[in-house]
């Protein structure tokens, strides 16, 4: 009986640790602009606004560019995603620690990361990195 309780407690602690490693990214996030009102250098091709809804094992990211054009990425976390009307490519969305990785698979290639989304240490900004390269610029988005 004691062993059973110990195993259940260990499983519960492991579940809580995994859940806490995956922050809630939900909200409307706008790219943080420079003092002159322009997007940061290198961010012109990035979404200017992202509306994220997360819950029940799903992640929906509505990415809106500067012209108001939107793409909805709808993902079953740890599985496949749809990306608007794009039927030519396969998409996936999964957690890598505290980062949500949205990747595209072109036929016959390995998955290529489109976005890595994660919260800043103070949890006041959503950071977007376009590559798997940790040295790549992380663009900040604020609510």
> Do the beta carbons of residue 102 and residue 119 sit within 8 Å?
no
Summarize the confidence of residues 56-75 as an average pLDDT. 92
Distance CA 63, CA 77 (A): 18
User: What pLDDT is recorded for position 9?
Assistant: 45
- CA gyration radius, the chain: 17
User: What pLDDT is recorded for position 139?
Assistant: 87
User: What pLDDT is recorded for position 17?
Assistant: 41
Torsions phi, psi for 16 (to 5 deg):
-65, -40
Q: Can you list the domains of the chain with their CATH numbers?
A: 24-142 (2.40.128.20)
Q: Which of 13-22, 37-46, 134-143 has the highest mean pLDDT?
A: 134-143
């Amino acid at each position: 009986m004691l062993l059973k309780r110990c195993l259940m407690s260990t499983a519960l602690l492991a579940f809580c640790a995994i859940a806490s490693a995956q922050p809630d990214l939900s909200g409307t996030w706008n790219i943080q602009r420079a003092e002159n009102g322009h997007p940061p250098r290198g961010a012109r091709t990035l979404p200017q606004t992202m509306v994220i809804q997360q819950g029940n094992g799903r992640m929906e990211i509505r990415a809106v560019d500067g012209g108001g054009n939107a793409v909805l990425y709808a993902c079953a976390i740890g599985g496949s995603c749809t990306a608007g009307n794009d039927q030519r490519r396969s998409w996936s969305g999964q957690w890598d620690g505290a980062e949500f990785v949205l990747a595209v698979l072109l036929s016959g290639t390995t998955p290529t990361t489109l976005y890595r989304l994660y919260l800043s240490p103070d949890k006041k900004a959503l950071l977007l990195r376009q590559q798997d390269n940790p040295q790549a610029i992380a663009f900040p988005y604020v609510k």
